[in-house]
Amino acid sequence: MEKGYLSIVLHAHLPFVRHPEYEDFLEEDWLFEAISETYIPLINVFDSLAADGVDFRLTMSLTPTLIAMLTDPLLQERYLRHITRLIQLSESEVERTRWQPQFHELARMYRERFNNCKYVFETKYGRNLVLAFKKFQDMGKLEIITCAATHGFLPLMELNPNAVRAQIAIAAQNYEKHLGRPPRGIWLPECGYYSGLEEILKQYGIKFFFTDSHGVLYGSPRPKYGVFAPIYCPNGVAAFGRDLESSKQVWSAQEGYPGDYCYRDFYRDAGFDLDYDYIRPYLHGDGVRTNLGVKYYQITGPTDHKEPYVRVRALGKAAEHAGNFMFNREKQAEYLQSIMDRKPIIVSPYDAELFGHWWFEGPEWLDFLFRKLHFDQDNIRPITPMEYLDENPKNQKATPSLSSWGYKGYAEVWLEGSNDWVYRHLHKAAQRMVELARNNNPKNPTDGLTLRALNQAARELLLAQGSDWAFIMKTGTMVQYAIKRTKDHVNSFNALYGMINEKRIDRKFLEDLENRDNIFPELNYKVYA
Amino acid sequence: MKKSVLEKLEERELMELAQKLGISVRKGAKQPEIIKLIKSAQAALTPPAVKPRAKRAPSAPETGRSAARQHAEAAQPARNSSQQEVEESKFYTGAPPEEFRLPSELPYHYGDDRIVLLVRDPYWAYSYWEVSQKKLEIERGNLGRAGEDAYLALRVYDVTDVRFDGQNDHGHYDIGIYDRVGNWYVNTGMPGRSFIVDLGLKTQDGRFVTLARSNAVRTPRDSVSDVLDEEWMVPDSDFERIFALSGGLSALTGASSADVRLAGGGKLPFGIASPGMGSLALMSPVKKKQRAFWFVLNTELIVYGATEPDAKVSVQGRPVPLRPDGTFTLRFALPDGKQIIECSAISADEAETRCITPEVSRSTKVS
């Protein structure tokens, strides 16, 4: 009989980046790399666990922006172009490295991986990876949860409840459209919670969400079991708190598993290492060297001299680390059970893109972990939050505390000198959107243009609200792109607002926006009223 | 001339145009009727001042684009009524349309009198505001002589658990500011309390006139709650252990759980968490780790040749694809040591074979 539960949560998210106006676009690589290095490897792990009868449980968010991109025909087409190019590169690499056995073996590994990506993407799942994840949800192994529509950081949106409601309503609608049933849980963007948010969540049938540790731990009244049991908000929506120890084992730059010297080095990439003329055909149009995802070295140590990556040894480490993680959870549960009068739940959330993209061996680590949990022990049972609540319906009532999982635990990452200027504009646009929704009611069928402009205005607002832009402005990579996206969406919104009020909509302008920012075709602007 | 432009439009396009201009047209109206309505609306709107402009652009659409498209492009948002008029006149004269261009910068302000407060963390809030020049002048005027050297200030009120009426705060303090459009990080200094900020004019003799009042915010707690639920009681010692465990395994493995005290704030080491290093930080495709001075050198060998296009070529026993003209190129990373590169070509009828075997060796000295 188990002593406790383990709930692993992966938050899969990328901002909406789609630029039909360009032949190719650097930032679209975010999606393509995540598909090849994270989403497909995870799907392969799930497939292999299911095939081997491993009864795994995992909770995973697929954010509405990610779903929109994964189901978009243009981006699907471009992913195929991207992976086809990588297959060509890997074939060429297999030839080039023929006299270097260690590299040759790795080149063959990449060739096999890229071909597998193409097969899984195109043939096995018909270009729609959302259906792949849905398959595991339908099998009862995976609980897919939603997220706010465009990953808006909700504590800084609280001022305008209609804007928050729209983020949730559109997310729930998007989820149901692609996954065939309403969402039961949500990953709050950046784990950002403010008290009262649960009222809106409940309206859309959401039964649970997650906070960082202090969100639950600092809840009031004082939560008896700390983060090791969920609390019910006064309205009955459950909040699960993050376990810090298990987070640290994976996340921490110093102590975390991904820093092991045997693992693949993220920074050494063929895109930078190989002869320019040779690599040029695989780079973007501007010819700037970028990572290509063909990486031959292991972390090796705190040195610039890197040794070639040895796959077998790295996989051995991943198995060892999975065993270590499981052992620690067993000890943790054992100890907790001695001071709790119920079985603890250990909630371990991670960014999905950590697995595979950053920590190359991460998907294999998950694979080993679930196999070991299934075959090697009885102390810990993997569980989804929904299953936990079904088995343990009685939980303490308390209101969580405002919190996020960002640096220092509150709003500072998204509200500091580099990005605080966005809120004046985001709030104004949200206020104007509510005004538009209340004042316009185009029923006349000849007024299709106004209706379209209203819906597009909502899309522009939503896209401007994504927390990713503020995050990028703070962290300092691709800053210009984030600033431009914010300004363009706000300015486009304001232009539409003016056109709708003046009753003179520029059709071409609207069509260009609709063509580019085509997220949520099902959206109805009335959600803001 | 104006009419001729309209007459080229179909009823559907005219209806749409009328809609844009805010003219109501009965359903099923015919072309001449709609044109008449548009023309009378236009007559009411077109000010004399724009007539010279109409003269400068006299001709009907010159480009190949449809008139309807031009109308759509001409219909731009108006920032004020005179601009609106100018743009409307553009349509009626058939002036060359301008593409709508999105501004590259955001508005500096929105013409509101408004102040907003946002929580950053248990100790800080962020405020942004704007007040119109007009409002400022009126309020200065109302203050009489004292208004002349009155200055803008923020007044931060502690309004915890009260319905604030401007008077019943638990205390307040002022921050002098300079800009009528600006922002400020307010050090509220107290977790778990509620605040409101007024933007106001403060006179030299200490009077304060409110220009705008913010929303109320509540800063979060930064420690565990003192409120206990009788149904969910737990001995303090047990809660301390739970609390310590919630903060990390170090407390579990060592005997140090007692060191983690609820007293003294009971703070957790938040921020280990890496979402500081979220997906996007990882996604940047051009990021390259900085390193000290470095030098790398590699060698590659290019083997190339040509034969009959339908011949079969192999290099070191592996078939080599030929280009349509019978040429081929191979590229190898060349490590230290000796490479014997056996190359052969066999004619399509397999009657003839040629072998060429270069030997290449590399040795590297590093100093």
**Are the C-beta atoms of A157 and A163 separated by less than 8 Å?**
yes
The Cα of B167 is separated from the nearest Cα of chain A by a number of Å equal to 24
Does the domain made of B300-362 have the CATH classification 2.60.40.10?
yes
Q: Closest chain B residue to A103 measured between Cα atoms?
A: B333
The Cα of B103 is separated from the nearest Cα of chain A by a number of Å equal to 7
| Cβ <8 Å between A491 and B102 | yes
Of B335, B342, B339, nearest in space to B317 by CA: B342
| Cβ <8 Å between B246 and A241 | yes
Of B365, B315, B310, B303, nearest in space to B336 by CA: B365
Between residues B3 and B66, the one the model is more confident about:
B3
**Tokens (6 digits) for A109:** 């590994």
Between residues A144 and B235, the one the model is more confident about:
A144
Q: CB-based contacts of B132: which residues, under 8 Å, 6+ apart?
A: B111, B112, B113, B180
Decide the pairing of beta strands B208-213 and B194-202: antiparallel
Locate tokens 């280990």: which residue? Answer: B272
Between residues A283 and B285, the one the model is more confident about:
A283
Of A109, A31, A124, A21, nearest in space to A70 by CA: A31
Residue A369's pLDDT is what?
98
Question: How does the average pLDDT of chain B come out, rounded?
Answer: 76
B169-175: long-range pairs with CB below 8 Å, 24+:
B169/B196, B174/B202, B174/B208
- Using CA atoms, how far residue A84 sits from A152, A213, A282, B179, in Å, is 34, 43, 10, 56
Which phi and psi angles does B224 have, rounded to 5°? -70, 155
Of B351, B350, B331, nearest in space to B341 by CA: B331
Q: Does B54 contact A at CB distance below 8 Å?
A: no
Residue B56's pLDDT is what?
37
Residue B62's pLDDT is what?
36
Return the axis-axis angle of helices B67-74 and B81-93, rounded to nearest 10°.
170
DSSP string, A442-481: --SGGGHHHHHHHHHHHHHHHHHHBHHHHHHHHHTSSHHH
Among 3.40.50.2000, 2.60.40.10, 2.60.120.380, 2.40.160.60, what is the CATH number of B114-218?
Answer: 2.60.40.10
Burial class (CB in 10 A: 0-12, 13-18, 19+), B227: exposed
**Are the C-beta atoms of B73 and B99 separated by less than 8 Å?**
yes
Domain with CATH 2.60.40.10 in chain B: 114-218, 300-362
For residue B282, pLDDT beyond 80: no
**Are the C-beta atoms of A10 and A352 separated by less than 8 Å?**
yes
Question: What does the alpha-carbon distance between residue B129 and residue B212 come to, in Å, rounded to a whole number?
Answer: 8
Helix (H, G, I), strand (E, B) or coil at B151: strand
Q: Which of B27, B268, B279 should we substitute to test contact with A (largest number of A Cβ atoms within 10 Å)?
A: B279
Q: Which of A187, A197, A233, A424 should we substitute to test contact with B (largest number of B Cβ atoms within 10 Å)?
A: A424
Residue B96's pLDDT is what?
43
Locate tokens 């047209």: which residue? Answer: B25
Q: Does A294 contact B at CB distance below 8 Å?
A: no
Instruction: Quote helix, strand, coil % in chain B, to nearest 5.
Output: 30, 25, 45
Cβ under 8 Å to A: B residues 247-266 = 247-249, 252
Q: Does A505 contact B at CB distance below 8 Å?
A: yes
Residue pLDDT, tens place only, A339-374: 999 999 999 999 999 999 999 999 999 999 999 999
Question: What does the alpha-carbon distance between residue A252 and residue A369 come to, in Å, rounded to a whole number?
Answer: 19
| Cβ <8 Å between B119 and A402 | yes
Question: What does the alpha-carbon distance between residue B307 and residue B327 come to, in Å, rounded to a whole number?
Answer: 6
- ipTM score here? 0.94
Q: Which of A28, A244, A353, A419 should we substitute to test contact with B (largest number of B Cβ atoms within 10 Å)?
A: A244
Residue A251's pLDDT is what?
79
Cβ under 8 Å to B: A residues 37-76 = none
Tell me the one-letter amino acid at A112.
E
Domains for chain A: give ranges and CATH numbers: 4-71+128-264+309-408 (3.20.110.10), 416-528 (1.20.1430.10)
Of A31, A24, A41, nearest in space to A359 by CA: A41
Question: What does the alpha-carbon distance between residue B125 and residue B196 come to, in Å, rounded to a whole number?
Answer: 10
| Cβ <8 Å between A499 and B119 | no
Q: Closest chain B residue to A334 measured between Cα atoms?
A: B252
**Tokens (6 digits) for B352:** 């003839």
C-beta neighbour count of A23 within 10 angstroms: 9
| Cβ <8 Å between A423 and B269 | no
Instruction: Give contacts of B292 with chain A, Cβ < 8 Å.
Output: 304
Of B94, B89, B92, nearest in space to B60 by CA: B94
> HEC profile for A108-134?
HHHHHHHHHHHHHHHHHCCCCHHHHHH
In a 13 Å sphere around the CA of B269, the CA atoms on its Cβ side amount to 18
Of A22, A12, A102, nearest in space to A63 by CA: A12
Residue B17's pLDDT is what?
62
Question: What does the alpha-carbon distance between residue B222 and residue A409 come to, in Å, rounded to a whole number?
Answer: 10
Residue A223's pLDDT is what?
94
Which phi and psi angles does A68 have, rounded to 5°? -60, -40
Q: What is the DSSP letter of A403?
A: B
**Are the C-beta atoms of A228 and A345 separated by less than 8 Å?**
yes
C-beta neighbour count of A378 within 10 angstroms: 10
Decide the pairing of beta strands B194-202 and B217-218: antiparallel
Residue A279's pLDDT is what?
96
Question: What does the alpha-carbon distance between residue A133 and residue A43 come to, in Å, rounded to a whole number?
Answer: 7
Of A284, A225, A251, nearest in space to A23 by CA: A284
| Cβ <8 Å between B245 and A228 | yes
**Are the C-beta atoms of B326 and B286 separated by less than 8 Å?**
no
Question: What does the alpha-carbon distance between residue A314 and residue A257 come to, in Å, rounded to a whole number?
Answer: 11
Question: What does the alpha-carbon distance between residue B219 and residue A410 come to, in Å, rounded to a whole number?
Answer: 10
Q: Does A218 contact B at CB distance below 8 Å?
A: yes
Question: What does the alpha-carbon distance between residue A441 and residue A447 come to, in Å, rounded to a whole number?
Answer: 10
Instruction: Give contacts of A408 with chain B, Cβ < 8 Å.
Output: 121, 270-271
Locate tokens 């820093």: which residue? Answer: A259
Residue B14's pLDDT is what?
67
Cβ under 8 Å to A: B residues 94-113 = 99-100, 102-107, 110, 112
For residue B41, pLDDT beyond 90: no
State the alpha helices, DSSP H only, in A97-196.
Answer: 101-118, 129-138, 161-179
List A187's β-bridge partners, or say none. Answer: A147
Instruction: Give contacts of B269 with chain A, Cβ < 8 Å.
Output: 244
Locate tokens 């705190």: which residue? Answer: A302
Cβ under 8 Å to A: B residues 166-195 = 183
Instruction: Give contacts of A423 with chain B, Cβ < 8 Å.
Output: 116, 118, 126, 128
**Are the C-beta atoms of A12 and A133 separated by less than 8 Å?**
no
> HEC profile for A353-380?
HHECCCECCHHHHHHHHHHHHHHCCCCE
Q: Which of A502, A514, A516 should we substitute to test contact with B (largest number of B Cβ atoms within 10 Å)?
A: A502
**Are the C-beta atoms of B208 and B251 separated by less than 8 Å?**
no
Peptide bond into B122 cis (omega under 30): no
Region of A226 (left: φ > 0; alpha: ψ -120 to 50; beta: rest) is left
Region of A434 (left: φ > 0; alpha: ψ -120 to 50; beta: rest) is alpha
**Are the C-beta atoms of A237 and A216 separated by less than 8 Å?**
no
The Cα of A53 is separated from the nearest Cα of chain B by a number of Å equal to 31
Residues of chain A with confidence (pLDDT) below 70? 253, 444-446
Of A357, A13, A304, nearest in space to A152 by CA: A13
Residue B18's pLDDT is what?
63
Q: Does A468 contact B at CB distance below 8 Å?
A: yes
Question: What does the alpha-carbon distance between residue A358 and residue A265 come to, in Å, rounded to a whole number?
Answer: 9
Tell me the one-letter amino acid at B143.
L
Percentage, residues of chain B above pLDDT 90: 52
Question: What does the alpha-carbon distance between residue A94 and residue A509 come to, in Å, rounded to a whole number?
Answer: 48
Q: CB-based contacts of B19: which residues, under 8 Å, 6+ apart?
A: A444, A446, A447, A449, A450, A503, B25
Locate tokens 């509220």: which residue? Answer: B188
| Cβ <8 Å between A95 and B330 | yes
Between residues A253 and B250, the one the model is more confident about:
A253
| Cβ <8 Å between A488 and B234 | no
pLDDT band at B74 (very low <50, low <70, confident <90, very high): very low
Burial class (CB in 10 A: 0-12, 13-18, 19+), A170: buried
| Cβ <8 Å between A226 and B225 | no
Locate tokens 């009965």: which residue? Answer: B26
Instruction: Give contacts of B234 with chain A, Cβ < 8 Å.
Output: 224
pLDDT band at B91 (very low <50, low <70, confident <90, very high): very low
Instruction: Give contacts of B272 with chain A, Cβ < 8 Å.
Output: 244, 247-248, 251-252
Q: Which of B63, B217, B245, B300 should we substitute to test contact with A (largest number of A Cβ atoms within 10 Å)?
A: B245
Residue pLDDT, tens place only, B307-345: 999 999 999 999 999 999 999 999 999 999 999 999 999
pLDDT band at B69 (very low <50, low <70, confident <90, very high): very low
Of A373, A366, A382, A359, nearest in space to A257 by CA: A359
**Tokens (6 digits) for B334:** 């060349």
Cβ under 8 Å to B: A residues 432-461 = 444, 446-447, 449-450
| Cβ <8 Å between B75 and A468 | no
**Are the C-beta atoms of A249 and A346 separated by less than 8 Å?**
no
Q: Closest chain B residue to A471 measured between Cα atoms?
A: B280
Of B159, B167, B157, B154, nearest in space to B210 by CA: B154
Residue pLDDT, tens place only, B122-162: 999 999 999 999 999 999 999 999 999 999 999 999 999 99
pLDDT band at B40 (very low <50, low <70, confident <90, very high): low
**Are the C-beta atoms of A333 and B245 separated by less than 8 Å?**
no
